[in-house]
Amino acid sequence: MLKLIISFLLLLPSSPTAATVLVSYSSSITQNSLNNLSDSIARAARAMRPDSERVVVVVLSSAGGDLQKAIRYAQQDGPELAQRVGVRLDTRVNNYASCESACTVLFTMGARRTAWRNSKFGFHSPQIESRLPAGMSREYVLDYIRNLWTDAIARVDPGLARQIESRRYLMRVDMQYLSGRAVSGGYVNDLR
């Protein structure tokens, strides 16, 4: 069942020319849920004053989903939407909340990436749920997906990407969690 929780909370800081709207995303990452996220971001942008600094914070709490769709959204669709509707996109994982699997890539979309010390980021070996392309081995496809994942992380934090590779987090079936504190610096650039 598709579960997308959207909340609009207009925060009015001390400056009358700034506004922030929070959009919660706690869905499995699919094309449909990302389309719904885009609709929510566009609605949030329309609700803001045009003369303000317009920020939409996507609050993530997701167990993941389609990694390739998350990569495309984080690196292309989300930034293009933000530019088109005139907002800055930030991402956030709340205290004690978790962002797992493909969600860890979606998190990289934010200009400001906020987490708390006890936020959790989960990494594991990718899963292949569809038929393999003809002539490609399972291991080849898994290595390709692992490389896409680490490249997406390396765009914001090359050190974390190296750590993920050296500790073989993407080779393990069980989820390997890192706290907000453990990934602060580049990946999380606003630690609370």
**Identity of the residue numbered 23:** V
pLDDT of residue 133: 77
Q: How many CA atoms lie within 13 A of 174 on its CB side?
A: 0
How confident is the model over 29-77, as pLDDT tens digits? Answer: 999 999 999 999 999 999 998 888 899 999 999 999 999 999 999 999 9
- Upper half-sphere CA count for residue 55 (Cβ side, 13 Å): 17
pLDDT at position 64: 97
Distance CA 156, CA 190 (A): 13
Over the chain, what is the mean pLDDT?
90
User: In the 8-state DSSP scheme, what is residue 76?
Assistant: I
Question: Average pLDDT of 125-138?
Answer: 82
Taking the C-alpha atoms of residue 112 and residue 121, their distance in angstroms, rounded to an integer, is 16
Residue 102 pLDDT class (50, 70, 90 cuts): very high
> Which CATH superfamily, name and number, covers 10-191?
2-enoyl-CoA Hydratase; Chain A, domain 1 (3.90.226.10)
Question: Model confidence over 136-156: pLDDT tens digits?
Answer: 888 998 999 999 999 999 999
pLDDT tens digit sequence for 16-31: 345 899 999 999 999 9
For 95, the 3-state DSSP assignment is coil
Sequence spans of domains, the chain: 10-191
